[in-house]
Structure 1
């Protein structure tokens, strides 16, 4: 058995910089035709010069692979002129609440104040991508942010708002209520729950933010994905950290799945008898909703056992060493 995917896309990807970029970017470029690149570097990608330099570094790292980095800007108090100049170079602007995740210390301190910039994005037709968590109890952080999404969906009805890496059944229900709300979901949140992370021995390589939730949340996410919800797309949130930052006191948040995401999800779609919907979830929905045309690339998945490597350089992937039933052909 095999599956042929046309121009698969990763709509939420961390590539880092320097040596880490050189190590991980080729792994995404091999099997994806494009990805939405996160801007939370140090310093953040929050101006056009910085964005162009970063994009050039990505292209340099991937060689001749047919791969498009769809760039984003880190949300700050932009002028309308700045956004107009950047519009042709970006797929959206990413909002991080201050201090909520990796390298977000310079993020938004006041969501109300951010609405001035958000209104400019709506006028200019630039999508808003959001890391939607508060500083509440860790299991409730996404749920607490849903009221913000609802308010913005109503206040900015012409704005495409993307709820990044959703993790709860409540987020799926909200997605169904507003046509201008969109979402991405990760490999790990489709496959694991908090019990996998911390129910036995703590697995640092499954620890990420937002944290994995309950079985009923995973079930809702899987149902939306395998049925190719028209405003839901795959976004790996693949976040590489060196081994020394994961297997340590103060473990960094992030799960590395870039080289294995397509294989892992093939098993999920097959188990639910929904392989026909896989193309929409990993490409067609995103192309339609963002009005993008990625480079042409065909990726073949074959029903052949594959053992996930124990490491890619200094980065340990999700389920390292485990045999899975699907391989890249």
Structure 2
């Protein structure tokens, strides 16, 4: 029986850090385990320009614990007014590693996102030329489309046409939630990859709705049927290099989660590695955990793997139910089962 597991230090290819007091409160949880993370740009106001990305990068470094070894990989928020030259300069600097596409209104702080996809054609063409990845929040936002169908419709109506119109564009389908997305990713060439979150490997829509509404399980994209969760588990544990970890860890205070119209997001930065070790062990795939967390992402983003390791041991971790911030408590995601692995 495996009692310890040593792997290359992992990266998080989709992370929300927020700003100000919340940034300072949640950043240590990520920096403790992860060497790098793709930082989401949906602040208020959003991180649209290279200059804004530099300023946000500086604030993140300033908030790091003194002994932390962590590199934020910045992104730009794509708008219909984004300047292709500014994007190219940001990529050339080595500071910005992707551009993020939010369909307008799809998720938290996405009001500045794209409505007219023809308006971003020049930016996407420049990104294809220089090899800069496009990270997509893959949901349509039309009110008549059922929320549980929005990812599948996005693939057909938006993603596939964009890729066909922009050959060579490198795309990350972020936080996929459906068998449709898994199947689509598997059918594409090496210019497309997909991230999978910790929480979508664990919960389905019953966890949110059955027996009463559970606000701390509400996320966007929303969790789907069990058949989709199982497809995500099979993809994550398959060892296929096109699938890798992007936690989408998204802190909101309990006060904001528990509103009549509460915020979407699960805060998983603190316990992701413990949860994943349990998931991969349960599925007989502990030998695939390193690929999913530490190898596949760097390969797609054309970065070296981390030089240091982390070790997990078969010991129940001691984790708080909440973390305290100056804005109020943030509840840590509860996977609904006892954790048996901890990072040492």
- Bucket of the pairwise TM-score, normalised by the shorter protein: over 0.9
In the TM superposition, what is the alpha-carbon distance from 1:124 to its structure 2 partner? 2.0
1:62-87 Cα offsets, whole Å, 9 max, x none, are: 13311111100001233332122111
* Stretch of structure 1 that moved more, 89-98 or 75-84: 75-84
Superposition map of 1:175-254 within 5 A: 175-179=185-189, 180-254=191-265
Tell me the equivalent position of 2:316.
305
Tell me the equivalent position of 1:143.
152
* Stretch of structure 1 that moved more, 317-326 or 139-148: 317-326
* SS of the residue 1:258 aligns to: coil
Tell me the equivalent position of 2:180.
170
Superposition map of 1:57-206 within 5 A: 57-62=59-64, 63-76=66-79, 77-87=81-91, 88-135=94-141, 136-147=145-156, 148-179=158-189, 180-206=191-217
Tell me the equivalent position of 1:269.
280
* SS of the residue 1:233 aligns to: strand
Q: Distance in 1 between matches of 2:299 and 2:338?
A: 34
CA RMSD of aligned residues (A): 1.5
Q: Distance in 2 between matches of 1:213 and 1:191?
A: 11
Question: Which ranges of structure 1 fall in alignment gaps of 5 or more residues?
Answer: none
Q: Distance in 2 between matches of 1:309 and 1:23?
A: 14
TM-score, normalized by length of structure 1?
Answer: 0.96
Runs of 4+ in structure 1 displaced over 3 angstroms? 294-297, 320-323
Q: CA 1:269–1:164 in 2, change beyond 3 Å: closer, same or farther?
A: same
Tell me the equivalent position of 2:290.
279
Tell me the equivalent position of 2:339.
324
Conservation of the 8 A alpha-carbon contact between 1:68 and 1:295: no
Q: Distance in 2 between matches of 1:107 and 1:161?
A: 17
In the TM superposition, what is the alpha-carbon distance from 1:116 to its structure 2 partner? 2.7
Question: Which ranges of structure 2 fall in alignment gaps of 5 or more residues?
Answer: none
Q: How many residues align?
A: 329
In the TM superposition, what is the alpha-carbon distance from 1:248 to its structure 2 partner? 2.2
1:22 corresponds to which of 1, 24, 41:
24
* SS of the residue 2:47 aligns to: coil
Q: Distance in 2 between matches of 1:322 and 1:242?
A: 23
* SS of the residue 2:330 aligns to: coil
1:49 corresponds to which of 48, 51, 73:
51
In the TM superposition, what is the alpha-carbon distance from 1:115 to its structure 2 partner? 2.3
